[in-house]
Amino acid sequence: MNREQISALMDGEFDEARARSLCAQLKSEESVECWAAYHLIGDALRNDCLAQPGFARRFAERLAAEPTVLSPGYKALAEGGSGTGWQAAIRSRPWHYGMAAAASAAAVALVGWFGVQEFTLGPGAGEFAAARRPAPVLATAADSKATAQASRKSQNAAINPYLLVHQEYSPTTAMQGVRPYVRTVADMAASE
């Protein structure tokens, strides 16, 4: 996995399937360091709080030390319909379930951590960390999600003037009248 791909992945330029496959490849020490470094650069440029070196390792250690989370039984989940992807994997390898829950909580926390830069993985994929999370919600995960939503709301509010100006110049507006303004009005509503 090269640096160009890591950079493009951070910018959400891949579709969901490709992003997943690349995330799965993000295993070599070099790739992970590059990923962390790019985020650190982004944070530094934005004057955000900076993650101290070793944040991910310490986070994983602290998470591992957390008490076990109450969650629906493996059996209930298995009966819950024909889940795809890692739900199916959970059914076949239940001992991975705990790991998967911890991993998705970590992913959600990361979304919160990096929420300021709108962690988008392509259409619909942006919510994949939250949407694929099993029913039990860690408090930290829920808080992080709220943070991500809040930052997204402020992002929408900030972008609206540009969008309003832009829409007036878009050729498709001529055919649709005020219909494209649904984007402006609706998306803000949905982010609340």
Partner 1 sequence: MQAVFQVARSGLVVLGFVWPLCGHATEAIDWLHRAASAAQRLNYTGTILYQHGTRIETSRIVHYVDPTGEYEKLVNLDGPPREVIRNNEQVTCYLPDSKLVRIESRASRSVFPSLLPNQIATLAQNYIMREAEPARVAGRDAQAFLLEPRDGMRYGHVFWTDTATGLLLKTRMYDENNRVVEMSAFLEVQINAKVDRSMVESSFPVRPADWLVQRTPAAGGGQKPTGWWVSKLPSGFSKIVEGYRMLPDRTEPVAHLVYTDGLVAVSVFVEVMPGTPQILGLSQQGAINIYKRQLDEFLVTVLGETPGITVRQIANSVVHR
Residues that bind partner 1 (CB under 8 A): 10-13, 15, 42, 45-47, 116-118, 120, 122-124, 126-127, 151, 155-166, 168-179, 181-190, 192
Q: In this complex, which beta carbon is closest to partner 1, that of residue 22 or of residue 102?
A: 22
Least gap, CB of 94 to partner 1 (angstroms): 29
Cβ 159 to partner 1 shortest distance, Å: 6
Residue placing its CB nearer to partner 1 in the complex, 7 or 28: 7
Nearest partner of 21 among 130, 164, 125, judged by Cα: 125
**Rounded least distance, CB 88 to partner 1, Å:** 21
CB of residue 22 to partner 1, shortest distance in Å = 15
Q: Which letter does DSSP use for residue 54 in this model?
A: T
Of residues 94 and 180, the one with the C-beta less far from partner 1: 180
Are 152 and 191 contacting, i.e. CB atoms less than 8 angstroms apart?
yes
Q: Could you tell me which residues come within 8 angstroms of residue 135 by beta carbon, excluding any fewer than 6 positions away? A: 71, 72
Q: Which is nearer to partner 1, 47 or 82 (CB)?
A: 47
Decide: helix, strand or coil at residue 13: coil
Is residue 70 classed as helix, strand or coil in its secondary structure?
coil
Whole-angstrom distance between the N-terminal and C-terminal Cα of the chain? 37
